[in-house]
């Protein structure tokens, strides 16, 4: 079977965006992800879903609700609590021509499948001399929720970013959640789709017409002139909250949702830096070895001559996420910290 294109033309994206304003329908983010799965499963009989409680229970956050009734138990396969086993089964299914979507009930649990994701999922295309493609999507809820405790508040972006052959994207709105899910399913590469546990009930109007988002393209959220703020996932909303305060203080921040965590969209990022000459990175990932550290390194390597100030990076503290709500908030970047960092950069 010839894979359908996973890259949306910019004209198509613009048309889809226009359609979302004039028509479309409102959905929550988990419903947008569900729509993407249903559309792709209807279009392609090789697409299947694998994971714990994805079947008749409908998934831990209802992303797969009703899919078992629509497509049957073989295409929406409930598994035992054995992440290493069912992720390995997904890799094997991809090797034999299927397009599995593997759900981790919580992203932290996928550490149990790290060997399958790293040594099998990311490397088999290379180690087989190109004999096998691994068109698999690995997705699920992650990030710091509300008092979920340390083991259920993991941010695995930093764990997976160094795996050769793996693509990573993070959705932040219902629109890009659906578009990225569809593109990931159509991709010939293994893709990890990060969904934030606190964004599932975010509501937005999306187009009725089919659309996809480019897996390797950042999103310009707010054009500006004074400083480039690079962020993704839940922190997009902390940044936009801070942006309101910054505008009232006379600053004009440019906000970019990088979306593609691997590879980075250095074209969009670079054009912004050439305009503002200042960079602030805001992430929920850990400071040590996180996405922000890799992004800072990439900016220094490629755009050093355009910087008029040191790159600042606001990240979560390098501690296990506390259960207590006040302590949990203290470990994650808050809007007031973003405002203070921009004021410091623009001095």
Q: How many C-beta neighbours within 10 Å does residue 39 have?
A: 16
Token look-up 């180690």 returns: 127
β partners of residue 314: 282
Per DSSP, the residues of 109-142 read: GGGGGHHIIIIIIITHHHHTTTS-----EEEEEE
Catalytic residue among 31, 52, 83, 217: 83
Q: Is 195 tagged catalytic?
A: no
CA angle 120, 124, 128 (to 5 degrees): 145
Bridge partners, 101 (sequence order) = 49, 137
Q: Interior CA angle at 338 toward 336 and 341, to 5°?
A: 110
Please pick, among 125, 152, 196, 238, the residue that the annotation labels catalytic.
152
Residues with Cβ < 8 Å from 255, sequence gap 6 or more? 220, 221, 222, 224, 229, 231, 236, 239, 240, 243
- Token pair 């001559």 is found at 305
Known catalytic residue at 226: no
How many whole angstroms separate alpha carbon 310 and alpha carbon 46? 49
**Per residue, what are the HEC states of 168-212?**
EEECCCHHHHHHHHHHHHHCCCCEEEEEECCCCCCEEEECCCCCC
Burial grade of 242 (CB within 10 A; 0-12, 13-18, 19 or more): buried
Among all residues, which ones are annotated catalytic? 83, 152
């Amino acid at each position: 079977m010839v894979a359908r294109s996973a890259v949306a033309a910019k004209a198509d994206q613009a048309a889809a965006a226009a359609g979302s304003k004039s028509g479309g329908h409102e959905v929550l983010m988990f419903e947008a992800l569900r729509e993407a799965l249903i559309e792709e499963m209807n279009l392609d009989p090789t697409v299947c879903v694998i994971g714990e409680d994805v079947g008749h229970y409908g998934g831990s956050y209802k992303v797969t609700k009703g899919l078992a009734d629509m497509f049957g138990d073989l295409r929406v396969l409930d598994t035992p609590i054995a992440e290493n086993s069912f992720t390995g089964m997904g890799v094997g299914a991809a090797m034999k021509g299927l397009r599995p979507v593997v759900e981790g009930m919580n992203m932290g649990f996928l550490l149990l499948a790290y060997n399958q994701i790293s040594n099998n999922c990311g490397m088999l295309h290379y180690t087989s001399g190109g004999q096998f493609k691994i068109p698999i999507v690995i997705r699920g809820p992650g990030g710091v929720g509300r008092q979920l405790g340390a083991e259920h508040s993991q941010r695995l972006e930093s764990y997976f970013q160094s795996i050769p052959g793996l693509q990573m994207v993070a959705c932040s709105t219902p629109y890009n959640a659906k578009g990225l899910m569809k593109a990931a399913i159509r991709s010939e590469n293994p893709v990890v789709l990060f969904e934030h546990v606190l964004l599932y009930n975010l509501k937005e109007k999306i187009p009725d017409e089919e659309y996809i988002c480019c897996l390797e393209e950042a999103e310009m959220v707010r054009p500006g002139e004074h400083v480039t703020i690079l962020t993704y996932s839940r922190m997009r909303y902390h940044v936009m909250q801070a942006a309101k305060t910054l505008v009232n203080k006379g600053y004009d921040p440019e906000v970019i949702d990088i979306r593609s965590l691997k590879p980075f969209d250095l074209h969009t990022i670079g054009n912004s830096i050439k305009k503002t000459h200042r960079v602030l990175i805001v992430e929920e990932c850990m400071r040590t070895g996180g996405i922000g550290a890799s992004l800072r390194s990439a900016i220094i390597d490629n755009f050093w001559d355009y910087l008029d100030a040191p790159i600042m990076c606001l990240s979560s503290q390098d501690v296990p996420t506390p259960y207590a709500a006040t302590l949990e908030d203290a470990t994650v970047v808050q809007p007031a910290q973003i405002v203070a960092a921009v004021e410091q950069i623009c001095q």
